Chain A
Amino acid sequence: MDSYDGENPLLREIDDFYSEIRWNNQFKYMGKLPSYLEDQINERKPILEQNDPFDIQEKPLSTALIPLDNTTRDVAGESLLDRYQKLITQEPRKHNPWKLSKVINGHLGWVRCIAMDPVDNEWFATGSNDSTIKVWDFASGKLKLTLSGHVMGVRDLVVSKRHPYMFSASEDKLVKCWDLEKNAPIRDYFGHLSGVHTVDIHPTLSLIASAGRDSVVKLWDIRSKKAVITLVGHKSPINSVKCTPADPQIISCSNDTTVITWDLVAAKPMKVITHHRKAVRDIAVHPGEFSVASCSTNDIRSWKLPEGSLLTNFESQNSGIINTLCVNQDDVLFAGADDGTLSFYDYRSGHKYQSFKTKQMPGSLESERGILSSSFDMTGLRLITGETDKSIKIWKQEFDSEFEELPWNPILSSQRF
C-alpha cells in the first residue's frame, strides 16, 4: 500500500467502518437529549406537533443537533482516515533484545529506588525499605558503602550532576542531602507533613523538588534548607516529580490520576493531564527529546512537553499495574510491572517489542515478584531494576540477530484514547 486514493474500495470500507466506531464511541451520547430538556421542548410545541413517545424513540437525534454533528463527523473522519493511512504505512524501529546479566543481593527490604552515578557511570545507589542506602560498584556489582540515617524506608534517590551531593527522600518525612565526599548526611529538609515519595534536582537552579503523601510539591533551596515554593493542586499522594530546565520546570504525577505540569513562577498548574483512569505511578523524562512518559494501570502514554499534548499511546493494554518507567536515549522505554513483567517499548511508535517475566530468585515467594524501581545507566546499554524480592538485577542489551520482536498491530493501539 504505497499510496492511498479514495477510489480503493477495500480501504474505503475499512475507513467507513473505523470512523463509524470512533463516531459511536465519541459522540453517540450527544445524539440523545436529557429527559428534562426533552420535556421542556415538548411543552413549547403545540399539541399537534408533540411527538408520541414511540416516535421519539425511533429517531432519537434531535433536529437541532444534526447539522452540527455532521460537521464534526467530517472533520473527525478526515483526520482518522489520514491517521490510519499513516499508521499502516509506518514501521516501528527495531531494537535489540534484553537479557539478565547480573543479580545482586544485599538489601533486607524492597529495593525502592535506584540512582545512577551521572558523571562517571561507575557506581549506582539503591534505597530500600530497610531504611538504608547502599552504594554499589557498577562494573563488579560489589557493595561499596552502606549509608544509614533514615528512620523509615527510602523512597527516592537522586544524584546531582553539578554538586557532590545525593538527595534521598524517605517515608520519615525527611529529605536528606548526602555529601558524597564525606559519605555522611549534611542537611535535612524538614517540612513535609507526611512521608516523602519523590525528590528531584532542578537542572539549572539550586533547587530541589520533593513531594509525597501530603500531595504538595515543595521546592527547597539546597543551601538554606528553606521551602521556597509550595505547589498545591494535587488531590492525592504524589508519586513522582521531575524537573526540566525549561518551562514547564516541574512535572508531577499523582494517585488522583492526573499528571500536572507546573508554572513555577505563578505556583499554579500549567496543564492538568487527565487522560489516565487509574493512579499514575511514575513518569520518566526522555533524555534526548523534550517529552515525558507517564504510566498507570494498563496505560502508558507520552506527552510533548511545553504544551503537554499527547504524543504516543503505548501498546500497554494488558500490562497490569506498572510501578516504574525509564527511557534511554536510544528510544527504548522500559516499564516494570507489579507482577514482575519487564516490557520494552519503542518510544516513538509505542510498539511493545519485548516482554518477559523477571527471573525468580531461589527462596523468594511468588508474591515477591515485582519490579519497584528501574534506571538505565548513562550509556543506555544496561538496565538496573530493584525488585520486591530484595534483589537488584542488571539487564544487558544483547546483539542477537535471531531475536523476533512481538508482532506490530497498529490498529489496536490507535483505537485507544
Chain B
Amino acid sequence: MSFTSLLPPPKRESKRKQVDVKRVEAERLLSALNKDKVIEESIDEQKTKSDPAIQIASQVNFKEFVPLRQQNFGLDVPLPSQERIDETYNKTRSFLQKLVSKDQQKKLSSVNKPDTININSQTIQVTTRQQDPLQPNIHRKSAKIYTPQLLENNAPIPTLHTEAEKPSKEEREKWKIPTFVSQWKNQKGYTVDRAGFGTRTGEPGGISGKFIELSEAIEKVDMEKRREIQLKYEEKKNLMEKEVKIKEDKLRNLAERARYHGRKQDGHVKKETSVVEQSSRGNILVERLKELAYREGRDVSEKVILGTAKATKQPELNYDSRLFIKGASTQRSENQVYDNPLFVQQDIDSIYRTNLNKLDDMVENTNDEGSVMDRVTREVKGGQQERSGPVMFTKAEDQLSSDKKKSFGLEKESK
C-alpha cells in the first residue's frame, strides 16, 4: 500500500467524472443483464451504438499494435505524389479562401448596411471603424528587450563554472556555528565569546586599538609619577643630610669651645703655646683617654677621642614603597593597573540584595521601635541607616515627590 493511497481524493472534477463513467458503464452492463427491463435495454443498446468510445474500441484490432516494419524492413512508405499534394493544396486553399471571404463579406455587409438597434424608440447605428491596413502594430512591447553587444569581435563569453571542492574536516569545523547558549540558564557553563577571541583556536580576534592606547597611556602616567616620587625622596634626603651636618658642626663647635675654656682655666700660658706644644699636649690627652679606656676594657681610637671620627658609612637602602602598600602580598606584574579588586571588602553578591538574615533578626527584635512593616519596607527600599552597597542616585524631582509622599505617609501614621 502506498502512502498516497491513504490521502483523500483530489478535489478536481475530472477524476470524479472518470469514476462516474465507470459506474455508468457498470450500471449499463448490469441493466443489460437484466432481462426483465426490456425497454431500458433497448435504450442502452442505442446508447452503446452512439458512444464513440465503444465504437472506437470495437474497431481496434490487435494488428494495429504490431509494428508494420517488423515484417519487412524494406517496406516502402512513399512520399505523397505531386497529384495528391496539388489536390490537398487546392482543397485547403479553396476552404481557406471561403473562410476569408466569409469574413470579408461580413465586413462589407457591415460597412454597407450598418446595423441598427432600437432601444426605447431610439435607433442606434452600429458601424465598425475603418482601419488602416498598413497601421503599425497595436500591441506594444511592454518589456525591455535585451540587446546583446552587436559587435562580433567582443562577443559575450558564456559564464563557466568551477567544480566546487569538498571542504575538509577542519574547514567544516571552522564554519560550524556553536549552538546558542541561554543567558539565563547556563548549567554547563558555556561562555559567550564577546571580545572575538576564538574559543577553539585561541587566536585573538579583532581587538580595537583603543585598548592598547589606554594601557600605554596608563603606563606612561605611572612612570612619570614614580620619577616624581623618586625626585622628592632624593630632595628630602639631601635636606636631612644638610640638617645632620649643621647639627654636627654645632656640636663640634660646642665641644671645641668647651675644650678651649677648660684650657683657659688651666693657665694663661696655654694661650701662647706653639703648635708643637699644642700637639704634645693633645698627645698627652690622647694618652690619658687611652689609659682611661684601657682601664675600662675598651679600645678607643684617636679620632674618636678627638671627635673627628665619622660614623661608619652604611649602604644606602632604597625601599620600594610598594612593599608597604596593603596589597603587596598579592602577586604583581608589570601590566597590572590596580593592585586590589574594587570590592574586596564588600560581599559583591549582596550589594543589591536585601539582607534577609538581617531582616529576620530585625523582625525578631521588633519590640524596640516602630511597626514591623515600616522597618521591613525601609530595609527593602535601602533604608538610610544601614546601607550595604553603593548609593543609588535619583532625580531631584522624584526625590522631592517621594519626600512629599513620605511626609504624607508619616502624617497619616502619626495621626
Check: A188 CB closer than 8 A to any chain B CB: yes
24 example contacts (A-B, Cβ-Cβ < 8 A) are as follows A37-B33, A40-B30, A83-B70, A86-B72, A108-B156, A108-B158, A132-B146, A148-B145, A148-B148, A204-B85, A205-B92, A246-B88, A249-B88, A264-B95, A265-B95, A306-B80, A309-B68, A310-B67, A310-B68, A312-B67, A312-B68, A348-B73, A368-B161, A390-B158
Check: B1 CB closer than 8 A to any chain A CB: no
CB contact under 8 A between A265 and B92, given known A72-B62, A148-B145, A312-B67: yes
Residues of B within 8 A of A312 (CB): 67-70
Residues of B within 8 A of A131 (CB): 145-146
Residues of B within 8 A of A362 (CB): 160
Check: A409 CB closer than 8 A to any chain B CB: no
Residues of B within 8 A of A249 (CB): 88, 92
Residues of A within 8 A of B62 (CB): 26, 72, 75-76, 79
Check: A313 CB closer than 8 A to any chain B CB: yes
CB contact under 8 A between A311 and B158, given known A146-B150, A245-B85: no
Partner of B145 from the list A26, A149, A190, A204 (CB cut-off 8 Å) is A149
* Stretch of B136-144, B178-186, B237-245, B372-380 contacting A (4+ beta carbons < 8 Å): B136-144
Check: A105 CB closer than 8 A to any chain B CB: yes
Which residues of B approach A to under 8 Å, CB–CB? 26, 29-30, 33, 62-80, 84-85, 87-89, 91-93, 95-96, 99-100, 137, 139, 141, 143-148, 150, 152, 155-163
Closest to A191 in B: B139
* Stretch of A94-102, A116-124, A284-292 contacting B (4+ beta carbons < 8 Å): A284-292
Residues of B within 8 A of A391 (CB): 158
Tier of interface size on chain A? 35 or more
The CA of A79 and the CA of B141, in the complex, are separated in Å by 60
A65 CB to closest chain B CB, in angstroms? Answer: 14
The CA of A75 and the CA of B66, in the complex, are separated in Å by 13
CB contact under 8 A between A105 and B158, given known A172-B143, A246-B84: yes
Check: A141 CB closer than 8 A to any chain B CB: no
CB pair B73–A90 under 8 Å, yes or no, is yes
Residues of A within 8 A of B89 (CB): 204-205, 245
The CA of A362 and the CA of B152, in the complex, are separated in Å by 23
Check: A381 CB closer than 8 A to any chain B CB: no
CB pair A40–B69 under 8 Å, yes or no, is no
Closest to A106 in B: B155
Closest to B143 in A: A151
Residues of A within 8 A of B161 (CB): 363-365, 368
Residues of A within 8 A of B70 (CB): 83, 86-87, 312-313, 414
CB contact under 8 A between A310 and B145, given known A290-B80, A348-B73: no
Residues of B within 8 A of A190 (CB): 137, 139
CB pair B85–A350 under 8 Å, yes or no, is no
A41 CB to closest chain B CB, in angstroms? Answer: 8
Which residues of A approach B to under 8 Å, CB–CB? 26, 34, 36-37, 40-41, 72, 75-76, 79, 82-83, 86-87, 90, 92-93, 105-108, 130-132, 142-144, 146, 148-151, 172, 188, 190, 204-205, 207, 221, 228-229, 244-247, 249, 264-265, 288-291, 301-302, 304-306, 309-313, 348-350, 361-365, 368, 390-391, 414, 417
The CA of A148 and the CA of B68, in the complex, are separated in Å by 46
Closest to A76 in B: B62
CB pair A106–B30 under 8 Å, yes or no, is no
CB contact under 8 A between A311 and B65, given known A148-B148, A188-B137: no
A103 CB to closest chain B CB, in angstroms? Answer: 12
A380 CB to closest chain B CB, in angstroms? Answer: 16
Residues of B within 8 A of A72 (CB): 62
CB pair A310–B85 under 8 Å, yes or no, is no
Residues of B within 8 A of A349 (CB): 69, 73
The CA of A132 and the CA of B155, in the complex, are separated in Å by 13
The CA of A3 and the CA of B276, in the complex, are separated in Å by 173
CB pair A106–B158 under 8 Å, yes or no, is yes
CB pair A290–B100 under 8 Å, yes or no, is no
The CA of A276 and the CA of B320, in the complex, are separated in Å by 102
A196 CB to closest chain B CB, in angstroms? Answer: 14
CB contact under 8 A between A246 and B77, given known A132-B146, A143-B155, A148-B146: no
Partner of B67 from the list A37, A144, A221, A311 (CB cut-off 8 Å) is A311
Residues of B within 8 A of A130 (CB): 146, 148
Partner of B80 from the list A150, A246, A348 (CB cut-off 8 Å) is A246
A-B contact count (CB 8 A): 159
CB pair A151–B145 under 8 Å, yes or no, is yes
The CA of A311 and the CA of B26, in the complex, are separated in Å by 36
Closest to B14 in A: A235
A283 CB to closest chain B CB, in angstroms? Answer: 16
CB contact under 8 A between A205 and B93, given known A36-B30, A106-B155, A289-B77: yes
Name 17 extra pairs, CB < 8 A, besides A37-B33, A90-B73: A86-B70, A86-B71, A87-B70, A172-B143, A228-B96, A245-B88, A249-B92, A265-B91, A290-B77, A310-B65, A310-B67, A310-B68, A348-B73, A363-B162, A365-B163, A391-B158, A414-B70
CB pair A264–B160 under 8 Å, yes or no, is no
A140 CB to closest chain B CB, in angstroms? Answer: 12
Q: Which of B70, B72, B84, B163 has the most CB of A within 10 A?
A: B70
The CA of A87 and the CA of B161, in the complex, are separated in Å by 49
CB pair A290–B79 under 8 Å, yes or no, is yes
Closest to A151 in B: B143
The CA of A249 and the CA of B88, in the complex, are separated in Å by 9
Closest to B164 in A: A365
Residues of A within 8 A of B87 (CB): 246
CB pair A37–B29 under 8 Å, yes or no, is yes
CB pair B69–A350 under 8 Å, yes or no, is yes
Q: Which of B75, B79, B84, B144 has the most CB of A within 10 A?
A: B79
A294 CB to closest chain B CB, in angstroms? Answer: 13
Residues of B within 8 A of A149 (CB): 145
B31 CB to closest chain A CB, in angstroms? Answer: 10
Residues of A within 8 A of B93 (CB): 205
The CA of A395 and the CA of B7, in the complex, are separated in Å by 50
CB pair B33–A40 under 8 Å, yes or no, is yes
Closest to B150 in A: A146
The CA of A313 and the CA of B155, in the complex, are separated in Å by 44
The CA of A244 and the CA of B74, in the complex, are separated in Å by 23
A34 CB to closest chain B CB, in angstroms? Answer: 8
Residues of A within 8 A of B66 (CB): 79, 83, 310
CB pair B77–A291 under 8 Å, yes or no, is yes
Residues of B within 8 A of A311 (CB): 67-69, 75, 77
A337 CB to closest chain B CB, in angstroms? Answer: 22
Closest to A142 in B: B152
Residues of A within 8 A of B80 (CB): 244-246, 290, 306
CB pair B78–A290 under 8 Å, yes or no, is yes
Residues of A within 8 A of B73 (CB): 90, 92-93, 348-349
Partner of B71 from the list A82, A108, A288 (CB cut-off 8 Å) is A82
Residues of B within 8 A of A368 (CB): 161
Residues of A within 8 A of B147 (CB): 148
The CA of A291 and the CA of B96, in the complex, are separated in Å by 26
CB pair A36–B71 under 8 Å, yes or no, is no
CB pair B74–A348 under 8 Å, yes or no, is yes
B26 CB to closest chain A CB, in angstroms? Answer: 6
Residues of A within 8 A of B77 (CB): 289-291, 304-305, 311
The CA of A291 and the CA of B79, in the complex, are separated in Å by 8
B59 CB to closest chain A CB, in angstroms? Answer: 12
A333 CB to closest chain B CB, in angstroms? Answer: 13
A44 CB to closest chain B CB, in angstroms? Answer: 8
